[in-house]
Amino acid sequence: MAAALGEEAPDNEDYYSLLNVRREASQEELKAAYRRLCMLYHPDKHRDPELKTQAEQLFNLIHQAYEVLSDPQTRAIYDIYGRRGLEMEGWEVVERKRTPAEIREEFERLQREREERRLQQRTNPKGTISVGIDATDLFDRYDEEYEDVPGSSFPQIEINKMHISQSIEAPLTTTDTAILSGNLSTQNGNGGGSINFALRRVTSAKGWGELEFEAGDLQGPVLGLKILRNLTPRCFITTHCALQFSSHGIQPGLTTVLARNLDKNTMGYLQWRWGIQSSMNTSIVRDTESSHFTVAMQLGIPNSFMMISYQHKFQDEDHTRVKGSLKAGLFGTVVEYGAERKISRHSILGATVSVGVPQGVSLKIKLNRASQTYFFPIHLTDQLLPSAVFYATVGPLVIYFAMHRLIIKPYLQAQKEKELEKQRESTASDILQKKQEAEAAVRLMQESVRRIIEAEEAKMGLIVVNAWYGKFVNDNSRKNEKVKVIDVTIPLQCMVKDSKLILTEASKAGLPGFYDPCVGEDKSLKVLYQFRGVLHQVMSADNEALRIPKQSHRIDADS
């Protein structure tokens, strides 16, 4: 199929933009746009050999776009996966009467076959590093007792515990996965570790089972079995059975969780645990685009508690979230509040203040970097001191905003510039080719534009005086940035029909006579035009639909 459709078009070619039609365009709209472009760029209309060659290339590209979009099957594939979907092997055996949903399933099947060939090379590493810090000497000082000790005038901050864990997955077949994990812990000079091996098998679309073995120096070997089973489309159950072998004999344990979708965004959980620490737990979790809410209650040995937490998700590019929780039980009462924010493409930084009785005040800092987690719990005081709560709250905010302004923001800006430069370098040849094609298209338009202007002038219709496309800098704070625009007056005038110009919501870079002058940056289209002898002006975003003329574009005589 790829050969039948042609292989000369760039992978990023937007067929809708090239034909200047909506993504929902009907067959009649496609045919009308195709016929109009054929009339403009048909090779037989040009006698000059060079123009004729250029017209053939553009005409073939337009014909290719029409072939793809006019066929329901290829259009469905293109809409979902673009040209890469059309170029995948295996479509020739697909029935042509399939719906877009069936085509999506077929594509995913072909994708799975490709993934199977790379299966042995894939792993899913995950890791956690936790460093516990004792900073109680900052607030709980005993100056009288240690006033004669050398260096006692400085607070003593110590690392009192550490924990490191790591796991990797090794797919053996499409249904079997081996998982190897290990951890090391130390606290106040004492420590130990363990290693765990698990083998998971997906038994069907409704569930999987996992057999695990763990051994370490802090406890005896553990043999376990995990099972997950979907009971209904909205309900599933998980069971974890374990046998721990020690000098005191065999200690069995069992944990069962029953979960059910209460509605689209809400899950309910019932958990029963039997063994060394037996308990019953129930919780309701509601997760939406703007919030995350949890309420839970546990009855058990040694701890029983009630907990409620709420997290608000801001709809910004940094994925900012603020959260708070209240937990009360036999161990006391703990109030926690904090926030987290995305600081780079793969990194999320968060801080939480914990205030409890009798736990005291702690500050917990967490950094998620891809699949690695770095956790730093800092214990500040065993008492409820307002000064500790104040510094735990204000200190991280001041440090974050200072680092964001002086380090993070400049670093991200430099990284963005590097990526843009790399993108420009990698697409330089493609952009040069697109530029040459655009210039060739403009030359082919000259005669048609002359006739269109004559016809529009005769009826005082729509005349495009000037048009620019690219990056405009209007903000004084960005005055040092370079303006990158191209003149698209002739291509826009060529699209005028019956004193109207209509552009769809696709990127303008794919229109005949256009190309991308600033890869990876925001672009706009600015048009100065004359209608009924009056000047009009409009600026629209790259992917914004545009219809002219409009009364709102009119330039007042006073201005």
How far apart, in whole angstroms, are the C-alpha atoms of residue 46 and residue 399?
68
Neighbouring residues of 200: CB distance < 8 A, sequence distance ≥ 6: 176, 177, 178, 179, 208, 209, 210
Domains identified in the chain, total number: 2
So what's the pLDDT on residue 423?
72
Last residue of a domain, one of 225, 252, 284: 284
Tokens representing residue 32 in the block: 């009308």
In a domain, 258, yes or no: yes
In a domain, 458, yes or no: yes
Residue 7 has pLDDT above 50, yes or no: no
Q: What digits encode the pLDDT tens for the residues 489-514? A: 999 998 898 899 988 888 888 888 89
Q: What digits encode the pLDDT tens for the residues 220-270? A: 899 999 999 999 989 999 999 999 888 788 889 999 999 999 998 999 999
Top-confidence residue, 287 or 510: 287
Mean pLDDT along residues 4-33: 70
In a domain, 528, yes or no: yes
Residue 520 has pLDDT above 70, yes or no: yes
Q: What is the 3-state secondary structure (H, E, C) of 459-508?
A: CCCEEEEEEEEEECCCCHHHCCCCCEEEECHHHHHHCCECCEEEECCCCH
Among 97-111, 145-159, 380-394, which stretch is predicted with the lowest mean pLDDT?
97-111
Last residue of a domain, one of 256, 284, 312: 284
Residue with tokens 């016929």: 35
Mean pLDDT score of the chain, rounded to an integer? 83
Please count the other Cβ atoms lying within 10 Å of the Cβ belonging to residue 281: 19
Top-confidence residue, 475 or 171: 171
Last residue of a domain, one of 284, 319, 341: 284
So what's the pLDDT on residue 166?
93
For 208, the enclosing helix (H) or strand (E) is strand 207-216
Give the end-to-end CA distance of the chain in Å, rounded to a whole number.
Answer: 57
How far apart, in whole angstroms, are the C-alpha atoms of residue 205 and residue 200?
14
In a domain, 182, yes or no: yes
Q: What's the count of helices (H) and strands (E) in the chain, helices before strands?
A: 10, 23
So what's the pLDDT on residue 111?
64
Q: Whole-prediction pTM value?
A: 0.62
How far apart, in whole angstroms, are the C-alpha atoms of residue 338 and residue 328?
18
Query: Residue-wise over 51-88: b if at least 16 C-beta within 10 A, else e?
Result: beebbeebbebbebbbbbbeeebbbbbbbebebebbbb
In a domain, 350, yes or no: no
Residue 519, domain extent: 427-558
**pLDDT tier at 107 (50, 70, 90 boundaries)?**
low
In a domain, 215, yes or no: yes
Residue 390 has pLDDT above 90, yes or no: yes
So what's the pLDDT on residue 268?
96
The burial class, CB within 10 Å (0-12 / 13-18 / 19+), for 513 is buried
For 431, the enclosing helix (H) or strand (E) is helix 428-458
In a domain, 224, yes or no: yes
Give, in order, the Cα–Cα distances in Å from 554 to each of 296, 498, 518, 529: 61, 19, 29, 9
In a domain, 443, yes or no: yes
So what's the pLDDT on residue 8?
41
Please count the other Cβ atoms lying within 10 Å of the Cβ belonging to residue 531: 20
In this structure, what CATH number is given to the domain that contains residue 262?
2.40.160.40
Q: What digits encode the pLDDT tens for the residues 302-327? A: 789 999 999 999 988 888 999 999 99
